[in-house]
Chain A
Amino acid sequence: MANFETREVSTDLLILGGGMAACGAAVEAAYWAKQNGLKVTLVDKAAMDRSGAVAMGLSAINQYVGLKDGQNTLKDYVDYVRNDLMGITREDLVANIARHVDSSVHLFEKWGLPIWKDEKGAYVHEGRWQLMINGESYKVVVAEAAKNALGPENIYERVFITDPLMDGDKCVGAVGFSVRENVFYVFKAKAVLVAMGGAVHVFKPRSSGEGLGRAWYPPWNSGSSAYFTLKAGAEMTCQEVRFIPVRFKDAYGPVGAWFLLFKSRATNGMDENYMETRKPELENWVPYGKVKPVPANLRNWLGMLDVMEGKGPIFMRTEEAIANIANQYKDDPKGYKAKMKELESEAWEDFLDMTISQAILWAASNVAPEEAKSEIAAAEPYFIGSHSGASGAWVSGPEDLQTSETKPVYFWGYGHMATTPGIFCAGDASGASSHKFSSGSHAEGRIAAKEAIRYIVDHPEAPKVDAAKVEELKAMLLKPLDIYAQNSKYSSDPNIHPEYIRPKMFMFRLQKIMDEYAGGVTAQFKTSKAMLEKGLVLLSMLKEDSLKLAAEDLHELMRCWENIQRMWQAEAHVRTILFREETRWPGYYFRSDTPKMKEDWLAFANCKWDPKSNNWEMIKRPVMYINQAL
């Protein structure tokens, strides 16, 4: 076995990840830990200042409810999320996050995040729930508060987490390795808070050359959360609910400002507006087809129908939107000039704050938005339960937001705890509570952290860890290094070897399977039972070959494990699409053999992998609402 030191860290609460949810968790946990004499440790694969989906910055806070000023009610938010997700939502979780999210936003502002204000000092909204920010340093500011709360001695950066440490059915820590030195880490804890984000590169991206990394979702989130909770035997939910954003084509720059602030339309290659010409299609998806705003996946679907009929490309009508604004100022040329300057700066900041690639692409293509329209397109599928997807672990709701009907099914002692005792989840790691975005993920991190501390206070016993099991995990984690070291000399080209596979080709193999059989871009987001079953056969061989992954160095060892994590996310996804015998989110995926939404599938499709038997169990759970009591 490769020569690695084993380093043991004992703590009370272990926070996995350093993104929005983990930073919220850190601030909250540090407070309660101090009150109760407990220790909190945080582990991130990268540097907290710039890790996770907000690493580049953001130009908007997408969840702000405005409760204190009576702008909206909790019920308003819950209704919006339920409809956007075609009825499949845990309202108890959504409401719990929504009642705490504003306080996260107010904290961000105090910490130094510039939030746009109007003349009266009120926040400037991009849309009903969205606030405009100067967000280049969003993550830096949020991480700063988290780091100041925890103290540097409790933070481990550049440590990559893979598997849970288990004591029977209970989680008592995690293992991983440093990507900077030959050290295998064993973190022992009384509770673990999982917040390692979602997954990208499970499906083949549209750009597969140098632009492979320019997916909408950042290439460094590889399904670590889903893998961790699955391996711990936790029940998972909404694994079929992937997210496909429609963005400016190729660089995936945001479209929110154009649609919401500048009131732009999108039209097809024949100048038709699919939101109008395809309106009758919405009847097929009632009641959700009738709600305002039209659910994200249905908007996708109407555009996809045009593209599938060869009516593309789809364009954002930037030139028209700007002409409309000019028209409003037709008697006031000076006012127009000032307005245009303001809009130009806003439009570019939208890109420069969160998708700089789009600024490069527009500059390189000499795009003048006032003169010509720009192409938009549906990206490939991602797993991001905090955004407009919903995949994640099945977690308990809070006790006070249950009705007598929901309580027996949605509550088991501690809010945001998975079905595996000792595991708490937040952000992309927890499912069925979408539309939390950056701010809601932070709020959920805080909620989950407080609940985790309450659990630790109730369950103070020291974690029991089996030393033999730890050795077994160490050997498993380091195996790709051994395989490479033992075999690479055999072939004159270390990339091509009959006994092993390197992580990049392994990833391409996974992406090809998912793209073609599970409804990726190439398959025009369509799949069926027969396709999925074939996909599962190919995935099972990929899984066997994952034991033959080879790594030349620490960086490549991380790549091996990232791709194993992606593969588990893929399997959970395929099995769940197969289980749900209907089509519910046509603009996310379309099951050609069951093309309609069905009454009896107004239910959660959950899954669970059993560590003892290596079997998957598929579970249908009831959807129950609390909105009438909110």
Chain B
Amino acid sequence: MPSFVITEKCDGCKALDKTACQHICPNDLMVLDKVQMKAYNREPEMCWECYNCVKICPTQAVEVRGYADFVPLGAAVTPMRGTDSIMWTVKFRNGTLKRFKFPIRTTEEGKAVPDGGFGPGDANLKNQMLFTEPASAGMPTIPSLKK
């Protein structure tokens, strides 16, 4: 059913200022049932299995079960996303387990500086250069048509 929420694990993000899964879903699928204080996917057939709700949930309450109309049962793909890397556990239908770890970023979260440290560059509103160019392009200038 694409993403689904394990009832027991979801605490409705009580401690946060916003419901994490609802905040992040690019397709506006996750909603909080305010009576039960449990989240659910309101339109599973519009889910891309992008895993953003899974990765963001503070209690690991969201999982994904492959689309029932073409995926055999029994597999599980589970991420653990940290600040600089992500760990994946892939469980096969036949029980085989694979684990992978990949870096996700090389800088501290939140700190991306718009000019990337290149400085504003030589651009003015009349020339063809953009902010940070030509330094960010690594060239003395930006090429144009041969005259």
Contacts and interface: CB of A to CB of B under 8 A. Distances in A.
Interface of A: 27-28, 30-32, 45-47, 49-52, 55-56, 67-68, 74, 99-100, 102-103, 106-107, 109-114, 134, 136-137, 140-141, 144-146, 148-149, 158, 179, 207-215, 218-220, 250-251, 344-345, 348-349, 352-353, 356-357, 359-361, 363-366, 398, 400-403, 446-447, 450, 453-454, 457, 555, 558, 626, 629-630
Contact of B138 (A68, A146, A212, A361): A68
A213 B69 CA distance: 12
A250 B23 CA distance: 28
A158 B48 CA distance: 18
Nearest to B51: A356
B73 interface: yes
A587 to B, nearest CB: 24
Interface string B111-147: 1111111101001010010111110111100111110
B77 A114 contact: no
Chain B residues touching A, majority SS = loop
A68 to B, nearest CB: 4
Looking at chain B, what size class is its interface with the partner chain? 35 or more
Nearest to A49: B24
Interface string B34-60: 000000001011111111100000000
A362 to B, nearest CB: 8
A213 B48 contact: yes
B50 A106 contact: no
A450 B66 contact: no
Contacts of A67: 137-139, 143
B13 interface: no
B125 A111 contact: no
B10 interface: no
A364 B46 contact: no
B50 A46 contact: no
Nearest to B126: A454
Contacts of A148: 112-114
A68 B110 CA distance: 29
A360 B48 contact: no
B104 interface: yes
Chain A residues touching B, majority SS = helix
B83 to A, nearest CB: 10
B9 interface: no
Contact of B136 (A30, A103, A211): A103
Contacts of A215: 48
A17 B8 CA distance: 36
Contacts of A109: 116
B97 to A, nearest CB: 10
Most chain B CB within 10 A, of A251, A349, A353, A366, is at: A366
A146 B110 CA distance: 11
A403 B2 CA distance: 52
A447 B137 CA distance: 14
Given A56-B50, A103-B133, A363-B77, A352 B100 contact: yes
Contact of B112 (A46, A103, A111, A447): A111
B142 A112 contact: no
Top 10 nearest A-B pairs (CB, nearest first) are A112-B107, A110-B116, A209-B69, A211-B67, A68-B138, A364-B75, A363-B75, A103-B136, A111-B112, A103-B137
A356 B49 contact: yes
B128 A400 contact: yes
Contacts of A345: 100
A102 B137 CA distance: 6
Given A106-B136, A356-B49, A363 B104 contact: no
B68 interface: yes
B71 A364 contact: yes
A191 to B, nearest CB: 14
A454 B137 contact: no
B66 A364 contact: yes
A361 B75 CA distance: 8
30 contacts: A28-B131, A30-B114, A31-B120, A32-B125, A46-B28, A55-B26, A56-B51, A67-B137, A68-B137, A99-B143, A103-B130, A112-B105, A134-B102, A134-B103, A140-B105, A145-B112, A207-B67, A208-B69, A210-B69, A211-B68, A213-B46, A250-B71, A352-B100, A361-B71, A361-B75, A363-B76, A363-B91, A363-B92, A400-B145, A450-B130
